[in-house]
Copies of this chain bind each other. A is one copy, B any other.
Amino acid sequence: MTQPHSSLIYILNGPNLNLLGNREPDIYGTVTLEDIEKSATLHAGKSGFGVDFRQSNHEGALVDWIQEAGEKAAGLIINAGALTHTSVALRDALAPLGIPVVEVHLSNIFARESFRHLSHISPAATGIISGFGANSYILGLDAITATVS
């Protein structure tokens, strides 16, 4: 177990996730990103961790935040949305971080279209959690706190 250099966990969300709960409820349900932020903050607090929860439609902003997490956070959870499948820049930002990185997805990406089966991010992540809806984030927090506590 490494000593965490912070008690803060970054949770970053990529393009279109700000609309969660408003679109395609038969796939994603009615839970909004704000609901997930609240649950995650509450759950992390039980283990003594704070949460910095952000969303952006811009790849560049996500790269900025990942670099920032490398200096300030004990761990990182990322749901990169569609950028999961197209961004090598996110991968290169994640690879040298030195803190636990968990890639999460709401739905099981392997049960969807084939172009969503490839993740550029997975090789740079500590682990992947995919398919449990909002609970994917909660399991991701447990995976990180088990590692850094």
Contacts and interface: CB of A to CB of B under 8 A. Distances in A.
B63 A15 contact: yes
A60 interface: yes
A63 to B, nearest CB: 4
A111 B123 contact: yes
Given A122-B110, A128-B128, A88 B89 contact: no
Contacts of A122: 108, 110-111
A135 B60 CA distance: 27
Interface stretch (A30-38, A44-52, A90-98): A90-98
Interface of A: 14-16, 18-19, 23-24, 56-61, 63-64, 67, 81-83, 85-89, 91-93, 95-96, 108, 110-111, 115-116, 119, 122-132, 135-136, 138-139, 142-143, 146-147
Given A19-B67, A82-B87, A83-B88, 14 more contacts: A15-B60, A18-B67, A57-B59, A57-B67, A60-B60, A83-B89, A86-B89, A108-B126, A110-B128, A125-B131, A127-B130, A128-B128, A129-B139, A132-B147
